[in-house]
Structure 1
Amino acid sequence: MTETWTIQPLDAGSWDAFAGLVERHNGVFGGCWCTWFHTMASEKERDSGKNCELKKRLVTEDRAHAALVMDGDTAIAWCQYGPPSELPNIYHRKQYEAEADLLPDYRITCIFVDKRYRHRGLAAVALQGALELIANAGGGVVEGYPHDNSGQRVAVLYDGTRALYERTGFDYIRPKGTKNCVMRTTVAPQKSRRSRS
Structure 2
Amino acid sequence: MSIETSADATFEVIPLTVETWPAFDALVQRHNGIFGGCWCIWFHPDGPERGQGAEANRELKKQYVEAGAAHAALVMDGDEAIGWAEFGTPTELPTLHHRKQYDAEKDQDPDYRITCVFVDRRYRRRGVTEIAIRGALDLIAQAGGGVVEAYPHDLTHQTKKMSSSFLYNGTRRLYERLGFSYVRPKGLKNCVMSIEVAKR
TM-score (norm 2): 0.92
* Shift, 1:3, TM fit: 5.2
Report the counterpart of residue 3 of structure 2 in structure 1. none
Q: Percent identity?
A: 58
Matched, 1:30 2:36: yes
| Alignment match, 1:119 | 125
- 1:45 CA drift (Å): 2.2
Q: Give 1:87's aligned residue.
A: 93
Q: Is 1:166 matched with 2:185?
A: no
Query: Within the alignment, does 1:186 sit opposite 2:196 as a pair?
Result: yes
2:162 to 154, 159, 183: 154
Q: Equivalent residues in 2 for 1:50-69 (5 A)?
A: 50-69=56-75
Gaps of 5+ in 1: 191-197
> SS of 1:42's equivalent?
coil
Look up the match of 1:12. Answer: 18
User: Normalization by structure 1: what TM-score?
Assistant: 0.94
Deviation at 1:43, TM superposition (A): 1.6
Deviation at 1:41, TM superposition (A): 2.9
> Residues 18-65 of structure 1: CA distance to partner in whole angstroms, max 9, x if unpaired?
000000000000000000000143221241000000000100000000
2:27 is matched with which residue?
A: 21
Which of 141, 144, 148 is equivalent to 1:142?
148
- The letter for the 1-side match of 2:162 is V
The answer to whether the Cα contact below 8 Å between 2:46 and 2:95 also exists between their aligned partners in 1 is no
Matched letter for residue 9 of structure 1: P
Instruction: State the superposition RMSD in angstroms.
Output: 1.1
Q: Distance in 1 between matches of 2:32 and 2:49?
A: 20
CA deviation after TM superposition for structure 1 residue 101, in Å: 1.4
Distance 1:10 1:127 in 2: 14
Structure 1 runs of 4+ with >3 Å offset: none
The residue that corresponds to 1:195 in the other structure is none
Q: How many residues align?
A: 190
Deviations 1:59-101 (A, max 9, x none): 0000000000000110000000000011011000010000001
